[in-house]
Amino acid sequence: GKEIILNGVDKTYQTRTGNVQALSKVSLTIERSSFVSIVGPSGCGKSTLMNLIAGLDTPSEGTIMMNGEKVTGPTSGNAVVFQKDLLQEWRTILGNVLLPMEIHNITWLHRSGNKTNRARALELLASVGLKGFEDKYPNELSGGMRQRAAICRALIQEPKLLLMDEPFGALDALTREQMMYDLLKIAAEFGFTVLFITHSIEEAVFLSDRVLVMSERPGAIVKDIEIDLEKPRG
Ligand code: ADP
Ligand code: ADP
């Protein structure tokens, strides 16, 4: 089914030196459980588009609907992963993964098989190779490991939509490749919709069912490509 529908979305930022039109007349439909990448040059509006869909900012014109409801702010069904992992340095890895559950005061046993949040967090950490690292602090881990922890912090919320803004942009090539395989496995397992921003066409084609290509001044989708390659999922 259609999960996300953008209709004539414009975004203009007001700045001290004038207006910047970041997006112009973006209309788009995203199917549930699809993996959609957005590529394009720096400044073409990728992050703006993602922030609008995530409800972190509002369009200047046009509407964004999610599952039939207008997006007016952050939704509990969304989780976002950025290039910077934004881990809290004074919390342990486990504490970081559990943070969204604390913030949203989610105390129920976890939906995935009646597990406590703690048990689920440990299971997620183990699934990305971080077993035994739960009591470490972020600065004791490598960049790749930190980003894996940040992904666990998103996954524990069991999002319907996972939004990722250059999640592997700060990682070296080898780690990035491993992370791409991990992400495919995770996406297949969870079945959520993924919106994935990247600079890398290669990354987009490898991961996605569909690649949206944007161009700048003002930001717009100029190509919409279905990717038919068999994914090495699972
Ligand atoms: P991308 O993610 O593709 O690099 P962005 O969405 O970050 O592009 O930016 C699109 C355009 O909007 C750029 O020209 C950028 O400078 C501008 N822009 C982004 N965020 C803001 C903001 N908060 N205030 C003013 N201009 C912004
Ligand atoms: P990077 O992001 O620096 O390229 P990775 O996340 O790929 O590194 O980590 C490579 C491997 O190195 C990890 O799987 C882990 O086994 C080991 N490693 C990295 N940092 C640490 C650490 N602080 N403590 C223990 N092992 C580590």
More confident residue, 180 or 96: 96
Q: Which helix (H) or strand (E) holds 179?
A: helix 173-190
- Pocket flag, ligand 1, residue 45 (CB < 6 Å): yes
* Residue 178: per-residue pLDDT: 86
Return the bridge partners of 163, or none: 80, 195
Residue 218, preceding peptide bond in cis (omega within 30° of 0) = yes
pLDDT single digits (tens) 7-17: 999 999 999 99
> What would the mean pLDDT of 155-172 be, rounded to a whole number?
90
Asked if residue 128 has pLDDT above 90, the reply is: no
Return the bridge partners of 226, or none: 210
Nearest CA-CA partner of 71 in 51, 100, 99, 91: 51
Asked if 168 contacts 180 with a C-beta cutoff of 8 angstroms, the reply is yes
Nearest CA-CA partner of 150 in 142, 161, 210: 142
- CA–CA separation, 182 vs 53, rounded Å? 24
For tokens 């112009």, name the residue.
Answer: 24
pTM reported for the whole predicted model: 0.84
**Banded pLDDT at 112 (limits 50, 70, 90):** low
- Helices 143-155, 173-190: crossing angle, 10 deg rounding: 10
Asked if residue 107 has pLDDT above 70, the reply is: no
Q: How many CA atoms lie within 13 A of 108 on its CB side?
A: 7
**Banded pLDDT at 1 (limits 50, 70, 90):** low
- Pocket flag, ligand 2, residue 143 (CB < 6 Å): yes
* Residue 221: per-residue pLDDT: 94
State what percent of residues in the chain have pLDDT above 70. Answer: 94
- CA–CA separation, 161 vs 35, rounded Å? 10
> What would the mean pLDDT of 126-149 be, rounded to a whole number?
94
* Residue 109: per-residue pLDDT: 57
Q: Is the ipTM of this complex over 0.85?
A: no
> What would the mean pLDDT of 118-122 be, rounded to a whole number?
92
The preferred substitution site among 93, 131, 142, 172 for testing ligand 2, maximizing ligand atoms within 8 Å of CB, is: 142
- CA–CA separation, 110 vs 74, rounded Å? 21
Nearest ligand to the CA atom of 14: 1
pLDDT single digits (tens) 174-188: 888 888 888 888 888
What letter represents residue 143's amino acid?
G
Phi, psi (deg, nearest 5) at residue 75: -115, 145
* Residue 218: per-residue pLDDT: 85
Q: Whose CA is nearest to atom 5 of ligand 2?
A: 144
pLDDT single digits (tens) 47-78: 999 999 999 999 999 999 999 999 998 887 89
- CA–CA separation, 137 vs 124, rounded Å? 17
- Pocket flag, ligand 2, residue 142 (CB < 6 Å): yes
* Residue 193: per-residue pLDDT: 94
> What would the mean pLDDT of 140-149 be, rounded to a whole number?
93
Indicate the average pLDDT of the chain. 90
3-state secondary structure (DSSP) of residue 120: helix
Q: What's the token pair of residue 71?
A: 């997006």
- CA–CA separation, 64 vs 78, rounded Å? 14
Q: Whose CA is nearest to atom 10 of ligand 1?
A: 45
In Å, what is the CA distance from 55 to each residue of 49, 63, 79, 143, 163?
10, 11, 11, 28, 11
- CA–CA separation, 193 vs 196, rounded Å? 10
Distance 169 CA to ligand 1 centre (A): 17
